[in-house]
């Protein structure tokens, strides 16, 4: 719904995230309906930049984790939004009024168009006589623009219970042009029993399985000052992994014994809707099959093309799953689990695969970035003999699908493909091989895996002992939390692994663990 736009007629304003109908209110009428409690405690955000605009987001709340998941809000509230070419808002270039209501938990997704490419803009919301924090964002460059450089901040795996989000604050300090969230933005579970002894800051919430539960997980995270600041300094591109719904889930398959796909679909749909409500992404909706497409491409001039992938929603169930329990990862051998090698299995879903390959074939960008959730290059536990084991939840559980991907990269030859991944709570620098089972085959892409913002990492010594069997992995470290900071220009991409001193310290320091460089036209990273 769009109320009283005040842009010139040749600029179109699109508002996603609200259902239409009887909510046409005058701004003053809706403004007077609530009390004086501050309605912007969750901050603001922007995302999915285009050359002429972006998505602006906020969610109104007075009690962010109210049990019903509605943030203590009642009826519809009219909200004004402004976009300015300067921080003081002396030059407002776009504005409008929209209605936030209970349908999407009083979240707003304002799709602004008609702006100038590659320019910074500032934005704010006003409701009930109160003003939101001011956010800074930026339009993408024109499709054929020759831009000199781009700075990315890349994050994944932020567990509230595991520690503070100081990494987000340091990411904000670096003033990125674009932030990538690669999954596990929230965690659905709550630690109990002996596991609760390691909790740094309690969720205070039961495991999320309902729409209200997922909404409150996002709302709690959004009260974090460091995360709010990061969202307010730059636009983002966000995709999910598994913990936005349930650990290790796979397509329509749950890891919980006895849960049928039709029942799990309802839980998944609740989690997907909550993700949409909490993220500055373009309008998307659950369809009749309870699917919600979020994979998409974003172009940054001639310098970079981003392919943001969904590695959960469309995949086949976990290899050698136990009955209906198809969302549980396992460590298996091929002798015990021949299902792993079935060519009919898919990781991305065949429709998303075709979309990706078509985009790679058409891309004219210097750097082609695949932003996705799980390690692609692979990690085998063993020397390749019959006793070698593989973890089925990653691309290792879908090796034929991965070979389709690497064949496409080798055949289509997009310039400088780089895979950015999360999930494993550790830093990795990998060569993505044409044949995943053959480390001597050609390198077709470079992969950088970022560690977690706060989630605990896998056992370092045990994994390091296995690295001689995995020469495609050039670097690994699971002992630190942090993020990736990436600077790219026409000649090279420099990736810094940024490590937080102590995740239990809300004021933790940050340092660079090491840096890696990919040169234009040379797949594979080298230590800087």
Q: Could you report the per-residue pLDDT of 343-400, keeping only the tens digit for each?
A: 999 999 999 999 999 999 999 999 999 999 999 999 999 999 999 999 999 999 999 9
Do 34 and 77 meet the contact criterion of CB atoms below 8 Å apart? yes
**Measured distance CA(340)–CA(327) in Å, rounded:** 14
Residue 18 CB contacts under 8 Å (≥ 6 apart), including other chains? 1, 98, 99, 100, 101, 103, 104, 108
Are 13-138 and 149-527 the same fold in CATH?
Answer: no
396 SS3 class: helix
Q: Where are the domains of the chain?
A: 13-138, 149-527
- Is 13-138 CATH 1.10.579.10? no
Q: Is the pLDDT of residue 188 over 50?
A: yes
Closest to 216 (Cα-Cα) out of 385, 376, 68, 110:
68
Q: Could you report the per-residue pLDDT of 443-485, keeping only the tens digit for each?
A: 999 999 999 999 999 999 999 999 999 999 999 999 999 999 9
Q: Is the pLDDT of residue 36 over 90?
A: no
pTM: 0.93
**Measured distance CA(165)–CA(507) in Å, rounded:** 9
DSSP assigned state of 322: B
Do 423 and 394 meet the contact criterion of CB atoms below 8 Å apart? yes
Average pLDDT over residues 121-130: 98
Do 132 and 124 meet the contact criterion of CB atoms below 8 Å apart? yes
Dihedral over alpha carbons 381, 384, 388, 391 (to 10 degrees): 50
Looking at 162-282, which runs of residues are DSSP E strands? 178-181, 236-238
- Is 149-527 CATH 1.20.1440.60? no
Do 50 and 140 meet the contact criterion of CB atoms below 8 Å apart? yes
Reduced DSSP (H G I as helix, E B as strand, rest coil) percent helix, strand, coil of the chain, to 5: 20, 30, 50
Beta bridge partners of 94: 83
Do 473 and 377 meet the contact criterion of CB atoms below 8 Å apart? yes
Q: Could you report the per-residue pLDDT of 66-123, keeping only the tens digit for each?
A: 999 999 999 999 999 999 999 999 999 999 999 999 999 999 999 999 999 999 999 9
Residue 466 CB contacts under 8 Å (≥ 6 apart), including other chains? 379, 380, 381, 382
Q: How many residues does the chain have?
A: 528
């Amino acid at each position: 719904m769009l109320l009283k736009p005040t842009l010139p007629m040749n600029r179109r304003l699109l508002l996603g995230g609200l259902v239409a109908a009887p909510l046409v209110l005058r701004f003053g009428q809706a403004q007077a309906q609530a009390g004086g409690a501050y309605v912007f405690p969750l901050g603001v955000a922007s995302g999915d930049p285009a050359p002429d605009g972006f998505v602006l987001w906020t969610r109104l709340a007075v009690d962010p984790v109210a049990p019903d998941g509605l943030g203590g809000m009642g009826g519809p509230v009219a909200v004004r939004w402004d976009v300015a070419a300067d921080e003081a808002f002396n030059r407002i270039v776009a504005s409008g009024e929209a209605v936030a209501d209970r349908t999407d938990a009083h979240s707003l997704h304002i799709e602004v168009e008609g702006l100038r490419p590659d320019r910074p803009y500032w934005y704010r919301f006003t409701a009930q006589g109160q003003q939101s924090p001011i956010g800074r964002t930026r339009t993408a460059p024109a499709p054929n623009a020759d831009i000199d450089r781009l700075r990315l901040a890349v994050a994944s795996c932020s567990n509230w219970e595991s520690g503070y989000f100081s990494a987000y604050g340091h990411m904000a300090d670096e003033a990125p042009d674009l932030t990538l969230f690669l999954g596990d933005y929230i965690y659905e579970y709550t630690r109990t029993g002996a596991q609760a002894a390691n909790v740094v800051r309690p969720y205070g919430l039961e495991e999320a399985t309902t729409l209200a539960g997922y909404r409150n997980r996002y709302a709690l995270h959004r009260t974090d000052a460091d995360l709010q600041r990061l969202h307010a300094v730059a636009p983002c591109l966000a995709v999910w992994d598994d913990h936005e719904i349930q650990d290790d889930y796979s397509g329509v398959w749950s890891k919980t014994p006895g849960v049928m796909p039709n029942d799990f679909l309802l839980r998944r749909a609740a989690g997907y809707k909550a993700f949409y409500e909490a993220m500055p992404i373009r309008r998307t909706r659950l369809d009749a099959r309870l699917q919600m497409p979020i994979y998409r491409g974003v172009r940054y001039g001639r310098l970079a093309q981003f392919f943001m992938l969904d590695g959960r929603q469309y995949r086949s169930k976990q290899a050698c799953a136990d009955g209906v329990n198809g969302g549980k990862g396992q460590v298996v051998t091929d002798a015990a689990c021949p299902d792993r090698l079935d060519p009919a299995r898919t990781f991305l879903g065949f429709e998303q695969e075709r979309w990706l390959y078509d985009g790679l074939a058409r891309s004219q960008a210097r750097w082609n970035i695949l932003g996705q959730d799980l390690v692609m290059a692979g990690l085998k536990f063993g020397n390749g003999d019959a006793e070698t084991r593989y973890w089925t939840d990653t691309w290792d559980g879908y090796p034929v699908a991965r070979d389709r991907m690497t064949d496409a990269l080798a055949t289509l030859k997009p310039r400088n493909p780089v895979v950015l991944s999360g999930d494993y709570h550790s830093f990795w620098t990998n060569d993505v091989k044409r044949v995943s089972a053959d480390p001597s085959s050609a390198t077709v892409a470079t992969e950088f895996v970022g560690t977690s913002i706060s989630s605990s990492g896998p056992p370092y010594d045990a994994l390091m002992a296995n690295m001689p069997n995995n020469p495609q992995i050039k670097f690994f470290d699971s002992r630190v939390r942090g993020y990736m900071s990436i600077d790219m220009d026409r000649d090279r991409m420099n990736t810094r692994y940024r490590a937080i001193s102590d995740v239990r310290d809300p004021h933790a320091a940050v340092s660079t663990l090491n840096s890696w460089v990919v040169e234009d036209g040379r797949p594979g990273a080298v230590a800087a």
